[in-house]
Amino acid sequence: MSERRDEPANGAPDDRSGDDVARGPEAGGVDSDGGSIGPMGPSGPIGARPGLWRHVYASIFRHRFDDTRRNRMLQITSNSFLHLHPATTRRHGLRLRFTWGMGGVSFLVFLVTLVTGVVLMFYYRPTALFAYLDMKNLEHEVPFGMIMRNMHRWAGHAMVITVWLHMLRVFLSGSYKSPREFNWFVGVWLLTFTLLLSFTGYLLPWDQLAQWAVTVGTNMAAAAPFLGHEGPGAGLTGVTDRTDIRALLLGGPQVGDPAILRFYVLHCVFLPLILSVLLVVHFWRVRKDGGISGPPEPVEEAATLESVAATTAAQTAAETAGATGSPAVTPTGGS
Ligand code: HEM
């Protein structure tokens, strides 16, 4: 303990005399919310980085640098992005054998489609005159255009497959059961919007395959119950070939300029927006439903809030004792 007190982390010169943003309580240090951020530890609040860099580091991060359980938790809870994760997680939730990782992979490929899709938008005009030419131009003239297009295309295809696999895993592990019924319901809409994204994107290259596939698809929509003029219940709702779901999608009697514009707006704005909102709800529910489903943890492995709090308190006491020169207290548990 006493050895480490004189030895700053990372081999940096010990500099505790400056205006520490992240001073511990015994030095009067508080974080931006007014809460204590812990005492000066053996290696200083931020790994004892000197001068300006120390100040910059402490203005961004509210935890110290050393690898303790408490700091690992603070790294998660005090970070804008990481705090979406729980500070602790159950072991089986990390087992690939249980989750297949397909939810995470679905999200990853969705992000790939978002980024590459925005790049494609710089080169693409959604009109019958330009759409096909712009795709060819993108492939053959634009630097990295071919790879961008194919990354978007393959990530889109992959997403359909991985979302199905994720749903299959959730079904096979019975994870749709209470208390996760609502998240299953949200998931069904996620699948629907994933398929709609795939369908609307199919028209955009404006080649023969695209035009005829969407002709077939929208003709099927004309036979939808109540919504299509050829479907059952059309008499009840009074829809005609000019007012049914097919006409709404195409903006006219057949696939043409208005259809490509509608599919473009649906594909690039409307559907990704709704899917993103649903994803936020989905992830939030995973946390609120108690994390990934699975068997209860064995008692000795359960990282309950109480045990974490006890460990943290013991570590804090040990560090305080070390910093003030009092006899060291051996932390119980922790890292
Ligand atoms: C865009 C599509 C989707 C994404 C990105 C997504 C993402 C995720 C992620 C990251 C998890 C955490 C655990 C894991 O990876 O398995 C999860 C859990 C879950 N998902 Fe999805 N999901 C999607 C679609 C669906 C669908 C289609 C369903 C079912 C109809 C569904 C139902 C669930 C349920 C019930 C859980 C909790 C599982 C558990 O606690 O074991 N999700 N999802």
Q: Is 93 helix (H, G, I), strand (E, B) or coil?
A: helix
Task: Indicate whether residue 132 lines ligand 1 (CB < 6 A).
Answer: no
- pLDDT band of residue 307 (cuts 50, 70, 90) is low
Judged by average pLDDT, the poorest of 44-48, 76-80, 122-126, 175-179 is 44-48
Q: How far apart are the first and last CA of the chain?
A: 15
Task: Indicate whether residue 182 lines ligand 1 (CB < 6 A).
Answer: no
- Hey, where are the domains in the chain? 2-88+310-324, 91-288
Identity of the residue numbered 71:
N
Report pLDDT for 235: 93
CA angle at 130 for the pair 127 and 132, rounded to the nearest 5°:
105
Judged by average pLDDT, the poorest of 3-12, 71-80, 258-267 is 3-12
Residues 21, 61: contact at Cβ < 8 Å? no
What's the whole-number mean pLDDT along residues 274-301? 87
Report pLDDT for 331: 36
Residue in the block written with tokens 């649906």: 266
Q: Which residues contact 126 (CB under 8 A, 6 or more apart)?
A: 204, 260, 261, 263, 264
Q: Which two tokens stand for residue 331?
A: 């932390």
Question: If you ran DSSP here, which 8-state letter would residue 328 be given?
Answer: P
Assess whether pLDDT exceeds 90 at residue 80: no
Task: Indicate whether residue 292 lines ligand 1 (CB < 6 A).
Answer: yes
Instruction: Give 218-241 pLDDT, tens digit per residue.
Output: 999 999 999 999 999 999 999 999
Q: How far apart are CA 255 and CA 319, in angstroms?
A: 71
Mutate to test the pocket of ligand 1, among 96, 100, 113, 166 (most ligand atoms within 8 A of CB): 166
Task: Indicate whether residue 189 lines ligand 1 (CB < 6 A).
Answer: no
Instruction: Give 161-215 pLDDT, tens digit per residue.
Output: 999 999 999 999 999 999 999 999 999 999 999 999 999 999 999 999 999 999 9
Among protein residues, the one with the nearest Cα to ligand 1's atom 7 is 103
Handedness of CA 299, 304, 306, 311 (dihedral sign): positive
Task: Indicate whether residue 90 lines ligand 1 (CB < 6 A).
Answer: no
Report pLDDT for 79: 86
Residue in 171, 185, 182 with CA at minimum distance from that of residue 289 = 182
Report pLDDT for 179: 95
Ligand 1 centroid to residue 72 C-alpha, Å: 26
Report pLDDT for 49: 52
Q: How far apart are CA 269 and CA 219, in angstroms?
A: 24
Domain made up of 91-288: CATH architecture: Up-down Bundle (1.20)
Judged by average pLDDT, the poorest of 27-31, 72-76, 145-149, 243-247 is 27-31
Ligand 1 centroid to residue 103 C-alpha, Å: 5
Q: How far apart are CA 132 and CA 129, in angstroms?
A: 8
Assess whether pLDDT exceeds 70 at residue 43: no
Helices (H) and strands (E) in the chain, counts: 14, 0
DSSP assignments along 307-319, one per residue = HHHHHHHHHHHHH
Instruction: Give 148-172 pLDDT, tens digit per residue.
Output: 999 999 999 999 999 999 999 999 9
Among protein residues, the one with the nearest Cα to ligand 1's atom 6 is 103
Task: Indicate whether residue 293 lines ligand 1 (CB < 6 A).
Answer: yes
Ligand 1 centroid to residue 183 C-alpha, Å: 8
- pLDDT band of residue 308 (cuts 50, 70, 90) is low
Residue in 296, 262, 257, 284 with CA at minimum distance from that of residue 182 = 284
Q: Is 36 helix (H, G, I), strand (E, B) or coil?
A: strand
Instruction: Give 92-138 pLDDT, tens digit per residue.
Output: 888 899 999 999 999 999 999 999 999 999 999 999 999 999 999 99
Ligand 1 centroid to residue 320 C-alpha, Å: 43
**Higher per-residue pLDDT: 78 or 29:** 78
Q: How far apart are CA 137 and CA 139, in angstroms?
A: 5
Task: Indicate whether residue 104 lines ligand 1 (CB < 6 A).
Answer: yes
Mutate to test the pocket of ligand 1, among 169, 286, 287, 289 (most ligand atoms within 8 A of CB): 286
CA angle at 186 for the pair 185 and 192, rounded to the nearest 5°:
95
Residue 300 dihedral angles phi and psi, to the nearest 5°? -70, -15
Average pLDDT, the chain: 81
Report pLDDT for 147: 97
